[in-house]
Amino acid sequence: MNECYYDKRMDFFYNRTKTDTADEWTGPQLIGVLCFGTFFCLFIFISNSLVIAAVVKNKRFHFPFYYLLANLAAADFFAGIAYVFLMFNTGPVSKTLTVNRWFLRQGLLDTSLTASLVNLLVIAVERHMSIMRMKIHSNLTKKRVTFLIISIWAIAIFMGAVPTLGWNCICDITVCSSLAPIYSRSYLVFWSVLNLVVFFIMVVVYIRIYMYVQRKTNVLSSHTSGSISRRRTPVKLMKTVMTVLGAFVVCWTPGLVVLLLDGLNCTDCGIQNVKRWFLLLALLNSVMNPIIYSYKDDEMWATMKRMICCSSEDRSQERRSSRIPSTVLCRSTDISGHYIEDGIIQGTICGKGDLGDKGNS
């Protein structure tokens, strides 16, 4: 019967697997890494909080796609928390961690990354269902969307907890991996292959969406010139699809391949030299998600700017309240707001245009 080492600290497993814990991460290098990580974590918190607030505030976003978008933002917000916890429990500190604390560190990362990935997949399927039926939004009910969101987090939590539940090498250190010294190599192979399969499915889904829209657009353009919005839809869709796929490939594939190589026990692949940079790429994916899925939506961007603008003007109004009568500084205009096939809404934000409209009314 194999001996278990739950009472050991992580230095025991790092030494057994000869894993580099970056003892040289001190001084300027450590400060640089912490500053870099802190900046992007703050951006993750702020940008994803704005996305969630925009979906809650704007009734035009009370549809399945935007509920899933808000859940994606929540997953990326959680990823920011996981990275903050990682920053203060990595490098030389790694060797001093207990087994349970190390499991918590990795479990948070695995949960957050899985939640973001599954969210992206569900959003891709939702867009596929809608566009194939030439609709702005799918026929998903609120109950079904709620069930999907709960399922996403259930899957993510389960995947993050699998090593803690027993799929580890604490009782058989001969099968320990190098990058994750208390994870079994078989688990790394399973986790990386599973995520790569999900990535492949996303690629297929978005390719089908693009080909379908392009084919329909060519058919329509041969019979009618169509509106400007209709003619621009394929271009916008192509840019969004290419951005999504490009960001995911750059940020996820290298790390997944490295995990797969470690799981296959590739000792000559030099994975220890690149592991930190690929982890930073995964962090950048959580930074880019709100930009890709939110800021490219004109109405989402307008709503967030409206919230920032109104918040700033409200503070200014409070300071001038003793001299200037209270007025409405900001209002939402719906004159130019309309949906087009790819679900992007054209809107306006608070500012000079509102004051001009007010003068003409």
Domain ranges of the chain: 10-15+23-221+233-309
Phi-psi region of 279 (alpha: psi -120 to 50; beta: other; left: phi over 0): alpha
Average pLDDT, integer, range 102-128: 87
CA distance 309 to 54: 13
CA distance 248 to 234: 21
More confident residue, 198 or 292: 198
CATH level 3 topology of 10-15+23-221+233-309: Rhopdopsin 7-helix transmembrane proteins (1.20.1070)
Share of the chain above pLDDT 70, in %: 72
pTM of the model: 0.77
* pLDDT, position 299: 78
SS3 readout for 192-238: HHHHHHHHHHHHHHHHHHHHHHHHHHHHHHCCCCCCHHHHHHHHHHH
CA distance 285 to 293: 12
Of the chain, the end-to-end C-alpha distance in Å amounts to: 84
Alpha helices in the chain (DSSP H): 10-17, 28-57, 64-87, 99-132, 142-165, 185-221, 228-263, 275-290, 298-320, 352-360
Alpha helices in 166-184 (DSSP H): none
- What's the token pair of residue 14? 């790092």
Q: What is the pLDDT of residues 335-352, one digit of tens each?
A: 333 333 343 333 333 444
* pLDDT, position 138: 65
Average pLDDT, integer, range 46-74: 87
Read off the pLDDT band of 129 (50, 70, 90): confident
* pLDDT, position 300: 78
Give the Cα-Cα-Cα angle 293, 294, 300 (nearest 5 degrees). Answer: 145
